[in-house]
């Protein structure tokens, strides 16, 4: 990613971490097409978010797109940053409402848009506890929410209805790059032909407390199919070694993706101990379980695996993605399992029933097609505040 000092007078877009980056990349590409002469400064907060941004924009970057970590929401830091880049607009993805940044943007007549905005009931209650601050912020932002329920939460906090639009979730506008599809197909072919793997399932974005459930399920799968492979992707990089140790303690044959050699037939667990590659490995799996959901973390993005056209499983704790979860479940593209026992039953059923796999894949592809269009609505919303010249 370009590290040079950004030019002034452009667009500032903030995406805190991986999930927000995934939502932001289609917008960044569309902004560059719609405003080709305006520099775009993209900030992230986490290293994983930065890595995913670099990966997803690797083929699209030029000297008019810049990246840095976001400054702390403290007056002196934000003031220096704003004076440096002098943005014409500030676009923040999904959930990040920073009062100092919003206030200083208002003082400098910089429009603020919360794009692809979502809000949980828990977050709304939190903002209501500091109503004096929340109400002040609401007067100075424009909000494009994913769904009507998100809009209701914003309105309850004092956002004027004239500053609100429901655009849908941009994550349904996901596009899988041809190079990514090719890489996934080549990797899967190697696992099938060279490592002799017959069934591949993936546990994505797992949190502490979920890995044990996943490994217990895999042990039962191996009794049915000794050539099955579990790909496990911990949510946080600091847990890579802990998950590796746990896997080996449980008696599995572990292969770490960071090693230089290919997976061999003896290995039955593949640990992805690198960041920014989850989207690729969804394309390798026959079935995916999305973590942060068997423990109360609110779940993670289930649209990515659905976009690959594979059956997807999730635990019950999806309060960060309530509307998306409901749509995917209703379409038959996502199955909710309540505990580790149900996880085992669900994966074993998909292992044994190829027809069920096919039906789940068809439902996944259809629900993506049915929910596209948020990007265009969001770009029109942005253009109303930043006219195309």
Express each pLDDT in 284-315 by its tens digit: 999 999 999 999 999 999 999 999 999 999 99
3-state class (DSSP) for residue 279: helix
Residue 3 pLDDT class (50, 70, 90 cuts) = very low
What spatial distance separates the first Cα and last Cα of the chain, rounded to whole Å? 27
Please state the rounded mean pLDDT for residues 46-62.
Answer: 79
Cα 223 to Cα 286: distance, rounded to the nearest angstrom: 18
* Token representation of residue 80: 């220096």
pTM over 0.85: no
Burial of 166 (0-12, 13-18, 19+ CB in 10 A): middle
pLDDT tens-place string over residues 353-367: 878 778 878 888 888
Radius of gyration, CA atoms only, the chain: 22
The answer to whether residues 114 and 159 touch, using CB atoms and an 8 Å cutoff, is no
Cα 325 to Cα 329: distance, rounded to the nearest angstrom: 6
- Name every residue whose Cβ is closer than 8 Å to that of residue 153 and which is 6 or more positions away in sequence: 119, 120, 121, 123, 124
Please state the rounded mean pLDDT for residues 338-358.
Answer: 90
* More confident: 254 or 389: 254
Please state the rounded mean pLDDT for residues 97-101.
Answer: 96
Could you state, in order of their start, the residue ranges of all structural domains in the chain? 11-168+373-385, 178-370
Give the chain's mean pLDDT. 92
Return the pLDDT at 5: 64
Does CATH place domain 11-168+373-385 in 1.10.10.10? no
Beta carbons within 10 angstroms of residue 265's beta carbon = 13
Cα 135 to Cα 11: distance, rounded to the nearest angstrom: 26
Is residue 63 scored above 80 in pLDDT? no
**In 64-130, alpha helices (H):** 75-85, 99-107, 121-129
Is residue 130 scored above 90 in pLDDT? yes
Cα 217 to Cα 225: distance, rounded to the nearest angstrom: 12
Please state the rounded mean pLDDT for residues 84-103.
Answer: 95
Cα 65 to Cα 50: distance, rounded to the nearest angstrom: 14
Task: Annotate 316-377 with DSSP letters as a single string.
Answer: S--GGGHHHHHHHHHHTSEEE--SHHHHHHHHHHHHH-HHHHHHHHHHHHHHHHHT--HHHH
Return the pLDDT at 48: 83
pLDDT tens-place string over residues 191-230: 999 999 999 999 999 999 999 999 999 999 999 999 999 9
Return the pLDDT at 62: 63
Q: Half-sphere exposure of residue 42, counting CA atoms within 13 Å on the CB side?
A: 35
* Cα distances (Å, whole numbers) of residue 151 to 93, 118, 168: 15, 8, 11
Asked if 11-168+373-385 and 178-370 have one fold, the answer is yes
Residue 61 pLDDT class (50, 70, 90 cuts) = low
Active site residues: 20
**In the chain, alpha helices (H):** 18-34, 47-56, 75-85, 99-107, 121-129, 131-138, 148-156, 178-193, 211-224, 240-249, 278-282, 303-307, 322-331, 340-352, 354-370, 374-385
**Among the listed residues 114, 156, 165, the one whose alpha carbon sits nearest the alpha carbon of residue 135:** 156
Please state the rounded mean pLDDT for residues 110-138.
Answer: 95
The answer to whether residues 85 and 63 touch, using CB atoms and an 8 Å cutoff, is no
The answer to whether residues 169 and 156 touch, using CB atoms and an 8 Å cutoff, is no
Strand-pair category, 199-206 with 287-290: parallel
pLDDT tens-place string over residues 219-248: 999 999 999 999 999 999 899 999 999 999
Which CATH fold topology does 178-370 show? Rossmann fold (3.40.50)
* More confident: 177 or 283: 283
Return the pLDDT at 2: 43
């Amino acid at each position: 990613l370009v590290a040079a000092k950004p030019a002034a007078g452009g667009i500032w877009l903030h995406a805190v971490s991986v999930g927000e980056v995934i939502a932001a990349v289609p917008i960044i590409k569309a902004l560059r097409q719609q405003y080709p002469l305006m520099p775009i400064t993209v900030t992230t907060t986490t290293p994983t978010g930065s890595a995913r941004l670099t990966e997803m924009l690797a083929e699209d970057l030029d000297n008019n797109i810049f990246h840095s970590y976001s400054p702390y929401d403290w007056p002196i830091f934000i003031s220096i940053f704003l004076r440096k880049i002098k943005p014409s607009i500030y676009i923040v993805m999904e959930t990040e409402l920073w009062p100092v940044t919003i206030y200083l943007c208002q003082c400098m007549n910089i429009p603020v848009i919360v794009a692809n905005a979502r809000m949980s009931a828990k977050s709304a209650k939190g903002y209501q506890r500091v109503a004096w601050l929340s109400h002040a912020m609401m007067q100075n932002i424009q909000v494009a929410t994913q769904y009507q329920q998100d809009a209701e939460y914003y309105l309850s906090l004092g956002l004027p209805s004239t500053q609100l639009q429901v655009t849908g979730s941009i994550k349904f506008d996901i596009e899988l790059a041809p190079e990514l599809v090719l890489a996934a197909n080549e990797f899967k072919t190697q696992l099938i032909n060279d490592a002799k793997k017959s069934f591949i399932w993936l546990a994505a974005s797992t949190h502490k407390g979920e890995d044990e459930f996943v490994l217990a399920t895999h042990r039962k799968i191996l009794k049915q199919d000794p050539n099955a492979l579990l790909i496990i992707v911990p949510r946080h990089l600091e847990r890579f070694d802990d998950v590796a140790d746990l896997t080996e303690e449980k008696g599995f044959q572990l292969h770490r993706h960071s090693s230089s050699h290919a997976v061999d037939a003896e290995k039955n667990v593949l640990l992805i101990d690198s960041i920014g590659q989850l989207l690729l490995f969804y394309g390798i799996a026959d079935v995916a379980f999305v973590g942060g959901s068997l423990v109360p973390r609110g779940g993670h993005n289930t649209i990515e695996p659905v976009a690959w056209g594979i059956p997807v499983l999730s635990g019950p704790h999806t309060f960060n993605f309530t509307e998306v979860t409901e749509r995917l479940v209703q379409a038959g593209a996502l199955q909710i399992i309540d505990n580790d026992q149900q996880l085992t039953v669900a994966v074993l059923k998909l292992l044994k029933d190829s027809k069920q796999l096919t039906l789940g894949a068809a439902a996944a592809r259809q629900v993506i097609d049915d929910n596209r269009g948020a990007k265009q609505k969001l770009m029109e919303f942005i253009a109303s505040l930043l006219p195309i010249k």
